[in-house]
Chain A
Amino acid sequence: MYKLSKTVHKWASLFVGIQLLIWLATGLYFNLMDHEKATGNNNRQHVSQIGNHQDFVFKPIKSLGLPAPKALNLVWILGEPYYQLKYELPAHAEALQDQLVVHAVTGTSFQLTERDALKIAKQSFTGTVTEPIISFVQPPIDNLPKQKTAVWKVQLGDVDNTEVFVNAYTGEVVGHFNDDRRLRDLMFTLHFMDYNNQGSFNNWWIILFGAATFFLSISGLIWLVELVKSQQFKISFHKANKAVQLHYSDNSKTETLILKSNDTVLESLAIKGVFIPSSCGGGGTCGKCKFIANKDASIWPADRQQLSKEELEQGYRLSCQHNVSEFENITLAKQLNAKHIYLTLVSSEFVTPFIKELKFEPTSNAVLNYRAGAYMQFHIPASQYEATFDDVPEGYQSFWKGMASQTLQHDKIVRSYSIVNFDTETHQLTFAVRWQVPVNKIGEVGIGSSYLCSLSLGDTIEATGPFSEFYARPNSLNRRVFIGAGSGMAPLRAIIFEQFNKYDVSNPTLFIFGARTEKDLLYKDQFKKLESTNSSFNYVPVLSQPSSNWQGREGYVQDILEDYINQDDPLTDIEFYLCGPAAMMIEVENKLHLLGIDSVNIFKDDFSRNSK
């Protein structure tokens, strides 16, 4: 129910959206408006038009010779008596259409002349009239949507732009409309969603939006109940602090932090500069801020929605849903030693037709320790520039034929790229950025990749990281299979070289790398060399469009995968590391599941973040 309520909340809020804000804003206007002024009657006065009845000889009603009305009134207009005969008695005076007004002495039928209408309008007004404009208006009348009979409209030309409406058949002043009144009426139109100007709030739109708002409110309240249940509304007047042991799952370090007891783990760690990933900001809807609590920590509904059963059993919880007060020990699934740094470009070279290898030096003397497979976030500033493709080396120029330079303009964006090297390999950070070029060379190039690939040597860019979430399982003796394609190479290369060159492992390791042509085989020489010096490592490049000289495997990685998994091996002892285009990842993962590989042994790096 909690999960459903969140989905309802999201879509109902999207649907109701602006109208809800309009309701609130107009409601606030009604609360704050000057009620006197808003009636439009600020300068209106009642003037008795009653004459002295002794001056008139009234014609008996009986002898008028008119059809019998349902009601008859004696009315006075500019001091003269009239009989108003009503042939219908509608519940609302504006709706009256069928009536006759005759002079009470002569019996002649009455019509309000322009001059008299002007006179009545002026009498009803206490302000200064300049040059009045008068016109005869038939219904429907914009300001008076319910008025069913014709009126004289008198624009008085005063500072408030007052318009006086006088009923053309009875001489009654129907209303004063000035700027204040018009504003109020606009607010009512907005509040009542009376966009067809019916002068009423009974319409289907408002019923529909009202119902959606009801669902929005009720789902929000259910969400609130969930938050209360997960103790997220504890108010403490003294901000209690608490010492908590912070561990990292790779045993890299342990530290003691003084955190605020009644804040969430997510929040309190962020204050200390330890950023747990979260894209929803603590709503329990993205499921990204997990950490390892202990196995018997309480499980709130959002934990259950976002985490798998296995994860819950292993003690994973969402850091946005739990208060620090619950824990003595907090373990983060990876080392979150992300730093905010500036990087200077020192090398930029094409290594395949579309992939550029970029090397950066950190500008400060920041020492970056990270597990291979980590990525950096580049803060690409808002910019406008001409993307040219003139530094493509000769050997690759045929691939770029037909690509015209183009002007790019974009706001500030954030793009993540995996680091190609491991930390002790070099103090530089190397990236393999695939320049995102439309297949048929028509259309826009990717803005993130274009910005990075267009940087000149010496240029500086802001970045955050490294973030580690894809890395080799520590202290494992298992066989390892790395499967990648395209620029999904980056984290895989980092991990493979880290394992063999930094940790001297001897795990049997296979790297299946898919590409189009021989020229797309990024870092081929490095892997060939590793293969020749290390008997535990095997490199299997596979090409989808090889030249006729190609001696190796042909096809796609997912097609040849089975050939390398010996069914006699215990499958639980193989770890798989995947990084490549989404379609490839999905197909490979499905294939692995079919082969009986458990999800816990499949490690994936979401390649899509590199693809824009």
Chain B
Amino acid sequence: MKGNVMIRSIRKYHKWLMAFVGVQFLFWSLTGLYMVSFDIHYIHGETLVKENEASIALSQVTYPISELLAQYPEAESISLTTLIDRPVYLFSEPKSKPSWRLVDAKTGLILPVIDKMMAIHIAESKYSGNSEIKSIRLLSKSTDVPPELSSRYIPVWKIDYDQFSSPTLYISQESGKLVTKRHDFWRLFDWMWRFHIMDYDDGENVANWFLLLVASLGILAAFAGAVLTYIRVFKPNYNEVK
């Protein structure tokens, strides 16, 4: 009899707890399943850009790094890279504005910030798809920045492609670098994440009290369920009053 009372209350706990937190189990499984089923590299848009970048034409680097340093003594994080077939120095000057600068590695001339045409040019050289650009817009104020982009990247060119997953490339106006990219699979992933950790605004706070509450009740409910399954599967005549 005792066992019978126990299993009846366990059944009741499981029922009532799951009535409150059961839906979240569905969300956890659905969102979790989405997040693990897609290759995270695909989610991160790595297939949106071409893999092979050209090597730097070293013979054209006639402006040596020592002169660069003499001219820009505050330069930090110096790198030599390629901007549309042209070798360039890219460096930061934290104390000045704009903070990133591009200098022609052949002539030593400072390059202007990336304009619209140039941004399109860069995007086209990186984009692996063959769809058309739908829109291009310069984001320069932090109020312009969509939630998917960190405001530390502004000013930045937002280039939207006309394709099924709405890919977007973000190209820094100062450095000409592809700072990040997005497509709908990633945007959806972010929503999945928010529902998974139950932080519905920006999805940054795993330590929220709502998750704490539901996960704690969820553990109790799951333990009760485990006992019920154990009895249902392994002890079908458990302490039976036939």
Contacting pair A21 B81 (CB below 8 A) = no
Instruction: Report the minimum CB–CB distance from B4 to chain A (whole Å).
Output: 7
Residues in chain B near residue A377, CB distance under 8 A: 241
- Decide yes or no: A20 and B222 within 8 Å by CB, A224-B19, A227-B15 being known contacts: yes
Contact B240 A277 (CB under 8 A): yes
- Residues of A contacting B: mostly: mixed
Are B219 and A61 in contact, CB atoms less than 8 angstroms apart? Answer: no
**Does B222 contact A277, Cβ atoms closer than 8 Å?**
no
User: In the assembled complex, which residues on chain A have CB atoms less than 8 Å from the CB atom of B10?
Assistant: 281
Q: Does A594 contact B (CB under 8 A)?
A: no
Does chain B have a CB within 8 A of A584? no
> Taking the complex as formed, is A267 at the interface, i.e. its CB lies under 8 A from any CB of chain B?
yes
Shortest Cβ distance from residue A99 to the other chain B in the assembled complex, whole angstroms: 13
Residues of A within 8 Å of B79, CB to CB, are 71-74
Contact between A201 and B25 (Cβ–Cβ < 8 Å)? no
Are the C-beta atoms of B19 and A416 separated by less than 8 Å?
A: no
Which residues of A221-247 have CB atoms within 8 Å of chain B's CB atoms? 221, 224, 227, 232-233
A278 pairs with B218, CB closer than 8 A: no
Kindly identify, within residues 22 to 77 of chain B, every residue whose CB is under 8 Å from any CB belonging to chain A. Answer: 22-23, 25-26, 28-30, 32-33, 35-41, 44, 46, 53-59, 61-62, 64-66, 69, 73, 76-77
Q: Is A4 at the interface (CB under 8 A from chain B)? A: no
Q: Are B219 and A28 in contact (CB under 8 A)?
A: yes
Residues of A within 8 A of B23 (CB): 221
Can you name the residue of chain B whose Cβ is closest to the Cβ of A289?
Answer: B241
A70 touches B8 (CB 8 A): no
Q: A58-B69, A232-B15, A277-B240 are in contact. Are A218 and B26 (CB under 8 A)?
A: yes
| B22 and A224 within 8 A (CB) | yes
- Is B113 part of the binding interface, using a Cβ–Cβ cutoff of 8 Å? no
Interface residue ranges of A263-317 to B (CB < 8 Å): 266-267, 270, 275, 277-283, 285-286, 288
Contact B56 A68, beta carbon cutoff 8 Å: yes
Q: Are B32 and A210 in contact (CB under 8 A)?
A: yes
Partner of B226, one of A21, A68, A282, A414: A21
Cα distance A377–B3 in the bound complex, in angstroms: 13
State which of B39, B218, B229, B236 has its C-beta within 8 Å of the C-beta of A279: B236
A72 touching B80 in the complex, CB below 8 Å, given contacts A24-B222, A31-B215: yes
Question: A389 to B23, alpha carbons, bound, how many Å?
Answer: 59
Minimum CB distance partner of A91 in chain B: B46
A318–B23 CA distance with the chains assembled, in angstroms? 27
Residue from B15, B19, B65, B215 within 8 A of A28 (CB atoms): B215
Of A64, A69, A210, A275, chain B has the most CB atoms within 10 Å of the CB of: A210
Closest-by-CB residue of B relative to A281 is B7
Bound state CA distance, A217 and B226, in angstroms? 14
- Sorting the interface of chain B by its residue count into under 10, 10 to 19, 20 to 34 or 35 or more gives 35 or more
- The one of B58, B73, B232 in contact with A62, judged by C-beta atoms closer than 8 angstroms, is B58
Within 8 A of B (CB), among A1-43: 10, 13-14, 17, 20-21, 23-25, 27-28, 30-33, 35
Binary flags per residue of A455-471, CB closer than 8 Å to B gives 1, else 0: 00000000010010100
For B242, the chain A residues whose CB sits under 8 A away are 277, 288, 375, 416, 467, 469, 606, 609
Please report the C-alpha to C-alpha distance between residue A68 and residue B12 in the assembled complex, in whole angstroms. Answer: 71
Residues of B contacting A104 with CB < 8 Å? Answer: 65
A71 and B81 form a contact (CB under 8 A): yes
A68 to B58, CA, bound (A): 6
Tell me the number of A-to-B contacts counted with CB atoms below 8 Å. 214
Assess whether B241 is in contact with A467, with CB atoms less than 8 Å apart: yes
Given that A68-B57, A74-B78, A220-B22 are contacting pairs, would A31 and B11 also be in contact in the complex, using a CB cutoff of 8 Å? no
Would you give 10 A-B contacts (Cβ < 8 Å), ordered by A? Answer: A10-B232, A20-B222, A200-B40, A201-B36, A202-B37, A203-B36, A207-B33, A277-B241, A279-B231, A283-B232
CA distance A91 to B47 in the complex (A): 10
**Chain B residues closer than 8 Å to A50, beta-carbon distance:** 76
CA distance A469 to B241 in the complex (A): 10
B200 at the interface (CB under 8 A from A): no
Interface centre among B38, B78, B229 (most CB of A within 10 A): B229
Shortest Cβ distance from residue A376 to the other chain B in the assembled complex, whole angstroms: 11
B215 touches A13 (CB 8 A): no
Q: Which of chain B's residues have a CB closer than 8 A to the CB of A64? A: 58
The contact string, 1 if C-beta is below 8 Å from chain A, for chain B 152-188, is 0000000000000000000000000000000000000
Selected from A23, A221, A281, the residue in CB contact (under 8 A) with B22 is A221
Structural contact, A61 and B25, CB atoms closer than 8 A = no
**B237 contacts A by Cβ under 8 Å:** yes
- CB-CB under 8 A from B41, the residues of chain A are 91
Is B208 positioned at the interface, with any CB of A under 8 Å from its CB? yes
Known: A70-B55, A71-B80, A278-B8. 19 other contacts (CB 8 A): A13-B229, A21-B222, A31-B215, A33-B207, A61-B65, A62-B64, A74-B65, A217-B26, A217-B30, A275-B241, A277-B240, A279-B236, A281-B9, A283-B228, A283-B232, A340-B1, A414-B239, A467-B241, A609-B240
Which residue in B15, B22, B36, B44 is a CB contact (below 8 Å) of A210? B36
Q: Which residues of B contact A174 (CB under 8 A)?
A: none
Measured between alpha carbons, how far is A44 from B193 in the docked complex, in Å?
29
How far is A270 from B65 in the complex, measured between Cα atoms in Å? 88
**Residue A211 interfacial (CB < 8 Å):** yes
In contact, A62 and B241 (Cβ under 8 angstroms): no
Question: Are A32 and B56 in touch, CB under 8 angstroms?
Answer: no
Which of chain A's residues have a CB closer than 8 A to the CB of B236? 279, 286
Measured between alpha carbons, how far is A185 from B80 in the docked complex, in Å? 36
Question: In the complex, A275 Cα to B2 Cα: how many Å?
Answer: 11
User: A193 CB to closest chain B CB, in angstroms?
Assistant: 9
Whether, in the assembled complex, B203 has its beta carbon less than 8 Å from a beta carbon of chain A, the answer is no
Using known A-B contacts A278-B8, A606-B242, determine if residue A69 contacts B39 with beta carbons closer than 8 Å.
Answer: no
CB distance from A529 to the nearest CB of B (A): 32
Q: Are B229 and A14 in contact (CB under 8 A)?
A: yes
Give CA–CA (A57, B64) in the complex, Å.
Answer: 11
Contacts of B32 in A (CB 8 A): 23, 206, 210, 213
Given A61-B65, A464-B1, A25–B228 Cβ distance below 8 Å?
A: no
Is A214's beta carbon under 8 Å from chain B? yes
Choose one: A91, A216, A282; the contact of B29 (CB below 8 Å).
A216
Q: Which residue of A lies closest to B105 (CB)?
A: A61
A323 and B39 alpha carbons, distance in the complex (Å) = 50
Considering the chains assembled together, what is the distance between the CA atoms of A27 and B229 in angstroms?
Answer: 22
Report the separation of the CA atoms of residues A62 and B82 in the bound assembly, to the nearest whole angstrom. Answer: 15
